[in-house]
Amino acid sequence: MKRDNSAQKTTFQLGLLKQEILSAQTKLSKHKTPRRLTLPPLTSVADITTWVTNGAYTRKTMKLFNDVCQVYELLLARMEFSTLGDDLAEFAQRTAYFEEINGYKTLHYYLSAVRGKGQIGHSNQYLTHWFYPYKGKYHGQMIKALINFMGVKKNGLVLDPFVGSGTTLVECATLGIPSIGIDINPALCIVSQIKVDSLSLNYPELSRWLSKTKPLDIFNYFFGQVREKRPWFLGFSHLNRDAKDLLTEAWAWHLPEGFIKELPFEWRNFFFLCCLHALSDHTYLQGTNKERPFTEFFIRDLNEYLDTIRDTYTVLQDRGVKLAQPEVLFGSALKLPLPPESVDAVITSPPYSIAIDYVKNDEHLLNYLGIDTSELREQLVGLKGKRQEKLRLYEKDMKQSLTEMHRVLKPKGGAAIVLGDVVVEGFRTNFCSKILSWAPELGFSEAEVIRRAILGGFARLRYEYIILLRK
Ligand SMILES: C[S@@+](CC[C@H](N)C(=O)[O-])C[C@H]1O[C@@H](n2cnc3c(N)ncnc32)[C@H](O)[C@@H]1O
């Protein structure tokens, strides 16, 4: 009879396995770091301020805003500190992400307390950022930190060649740093100009005049009368014109005669923007459960605009903020009207590939101003051409705009380009990688990228990239 020795075999195999495990453990233990006898202090592992300030301070000295929680925000906080943290008094005036330093509130704490519509914490829509509901704004707080990281001084110059609704300019103005914003859409040049000018409106005088005026008379001035048919806008062959000149021409040739024309230029423009805001609300909310009569939008927007102007006036006076005066130019990012090596930093956000129709988004505004939308479409990066050709033209224009940014930057100057990875015809675009690969041939000496997750929000956008380039 054959003996069954399988049980014996298994015990034998298990014995071998145990031996192997033991010898592996012995080998591993040779590589083990010696056991800590003392545990690290909790503050060194749990205090994010220590990490942000590279060990220089703890949260007892410096407090980040409570809503600073995303990785990109912490990185930007660390980056702005690394450039400006040597002088805490100046840092308190400039920081975007710290709320308190040595028991004193920072300037951003006060500025971001001037609340606006759609605001998220201390990041966006404060001050006049929320004026005119432009789709595609980036966050002022992030831009401020990038300006800080690039170490731009009060005698420096920041350029935004795709300025849109002027976020970069509003930030530069409150930092006291000169800036130039350029856009090929004349309507947005006007919006940007009014947003920066409205920062310095004298609220007490404005409200005194308003107390003697009926808001509906203002509304009727803009919408109740026939506007001039004479073309005020000279077209896209007349580039590089100051937005103030565009506004002066619009007032002279396009807007009706009436009592508003007797007001100071900045006041007239303020009411104009408020009316354009109401026009946008009215256009977008038609047919939804938020629909209201046009005049109601205007009255509500006017009251909210005035609240912002009052609070902005108070905070700038109380904190002694000296605003810089940005320049807005109607022009092209593809042929910048600036000499070589004249700019300290470029902070910008070009159109995100070909996915967003910037003309359609603001058609109501362009129509009000009598600007030819098909002509504008031929000028905008990302809207030229059809189907396959569209992407090729976008790529070509992006390369050209980067060549221009490089040309106007001073040696060692930096560019921060914010770009989203939108989906086009089922494919997720990856222009961030393309820009990084072009950087050396365009002459940039360094290139880095920070990724920002888009939480919720626009489904077609998963990440935004902050591409950092150094000349
Ligand atoms: C993403 S938006 C910029 C938004 C801006 N960062 C803001 O916060 O409001 C891109 C802008 O690029 C502008 N643009 C497109 N082609 C341009 C060109 N060739 N030159 C200058 N601006 C252009 C568009 O009109 C649009 O305003």
Q: Which of 4-18, 151-165, 371-385 has the lowest mean pLDDT?
A: 4-18
Q: Could you tell me what percent of the chain has a pLDDT over 70?
A: 91
Query: Can you tell me which atom of ligand 1 is nearest the CA of 350?
Result: 10
Tell how far the Cα of 251 is from the centroid of ligand 1, in angstroms.
24
pLDDT (0 to 100) of residue 1: 43
Q: Is 14 or 450 the better-scoring residue by pLDDT? A: 450
Q: Is 305 or 382 the better-scoring residue by pLDDT? A: 305
Tell me the two tokens of residue 168.
């970069």
pLDDT (0 to 100) of residue 27: 67
In this structure, the residues whose C-beta lies within 6 A of any atom of ligand 1 are: 134, 136-138, 161-162, 164-165, 167, 182-185, 188, 332-334, 349-351, 358, 379-381
Model confidence at 35: pLDDT above 90: no
| CB-based contact 249:371 (threshold 8 Å) | no
For the chain, the 3-state helix, strand and coil shares in percent, each to the nearest 5, are 50, 15, 40
pLDDT (0 to 100) of residue 399: 97
Residue 52 CB-half CA count within 13 A:
30
- 278-323 residue pLDDT tens: 999 999 998 899 999 999 999 999 999 999 999 999 999 999 999 9
- 385-444 residue pLDDT tens: 887 788 899 999 999 999 999 999 999 999 999 998 887 777 787 899 999 999 999 999
In the chain, CATH 3.40.50.150 covers 135-187+323-470
Q: CB 297: neighbour CB atoms within 10 A?
A: 23
Tell how far the Cα of 332 is from the centroid of ligand 1, in angstroms.
9
Residue with tokens 């301020």: 49
pLDDT (0 to 100) of residue 36: 64
Beta strands at 409-420 and 343-348: parallel, antiparallel or unpaired: parallel
Q: Is 46 or 237 the better-scoring residue by pLDDT? A: 237
Tell me the two tokens of residue 101.
């330093």
Model confidence at 151: pLDDT above 80: yes
Tell how far the Cα of 162 is from the centroid of ligand 1, in angstroms.
4
For residue 72, which of 439, 471, 463 has the smallest C-alpha distance?
463
146, burial (CB in 10 Å: exposed 0-12, middle 13-18, buried 19+): buried
Residue with tokens 């049980």: 7
Tell how far the Cα of 151 is from the centroid of ligand 1, in angstroms.
24
Q: What is the mean pLDDT of the chain?
A: 91
For residue 170, which of 300, 278, 280, 308 has the smallest C-alpha distance?
308
Q: Is 277 or 460 the better-scoring residue by pLDDT? A: 277
Q: How far apart are CA 192 and CA 190, in angstroms?
A: 5
Task: Transcribe 23-59 into DSSP letters.
Answer: HHHHHHHHHPPPPPSSPPPHHHHH-HHHHHTTTS--T
**What value, to the nearest 5°, has the Cα angle with vertex 243 and ends 240 and 245?**
90
Query: Can you tell me which atom of ligand 1 is nearest the CA of 164?
Result: 27
Average pLDDT value for residue range 43-54? 89
Q: CB 315: neighbour CB atoms within 10 A?
A: 19
| CB-based contact 416:150 (threshold 8 Å) | yes
**CA-nearest residue, atom 8 of ligand 1:** 137
Instruction: Enter the pTM of the model.
Output: 0.91
Q: Which range has the top average pLDDT, 33-37, 343-347, 423-427?
A: 343-347
pLDDT (0 to 100) of residue 161: 98
pLDDT (0 to 100) of residue 136: 86
Residue with tokens 């980067």: 402
Model confidence at 95: pLDDT above 80: yes
- 229-254 residue pLDDT tens: 677 888 999 999 999 999 999 999 99
Average pLDDT value for residue range 315-334? 98
Tell how far the Cα of 350 is from the centroid of ligand 1, in angstroms.
5
For residue 276, which of 190, 356, 399, 208 has the smallest C-alpha distance?
190
358-363-368-370 Cα dihedral, nearest 10 degrees:
80
**CA-nearest residue, atom 19 of ligand 1:** 332
Place 2 in a pLDDT band, splitting at 50, 70 and 90: very low
pLDDT (0 to 100) of residue 229: 67
| CB-based contact 454:463 (threshold 8 Å) | yes
**CA-nearest residue, atom 1 of ligand 1:** 351
**End-to-end Cα spacing for the chain:** 88
Q: With b meaning 16 or more CB within 10 Å and e meaning fewer, what string describes 324-358?
A: bebbbbbbbbbebebeeeebbbbbbbbbbbbbbeb
Instruction: Estimate to the nearest angstrom the gap between the alpha carbon of 184 and the chain centroid.
Output: 18
- What is the third-level CATH fold of 135-187+323-470? Rossmann fold (3.40.50)
Q: How far apart are CA 183 and CA 329, in angstroms?
A: 7
Q: Is 12 or 91 the better-scoring residue by pLDDT? A: 91
Model confidence at 19: pLDDT above 80: no
Q: How far apart are CA 361 and CA 301, in angstroms?
A: 20
Tell how far the Cα of 182 is from the centroid of ligand 1, in angstroms.
8
Q: How many residues comprise the chain?
A: 471
Edge to edge, the sheet with strand 62-64 lists 62-64, 98-101, 104-105
Model confidence at 9: pLDDT above 70: no
Q: What stretch of H or E contains 296?
A: helix 294-319
Q: How far apart are CA 126 and CA 113, in angstroms?
A: 7
Q: Is 35 or 253 the better-scoring residue by pLDDT? A: 253
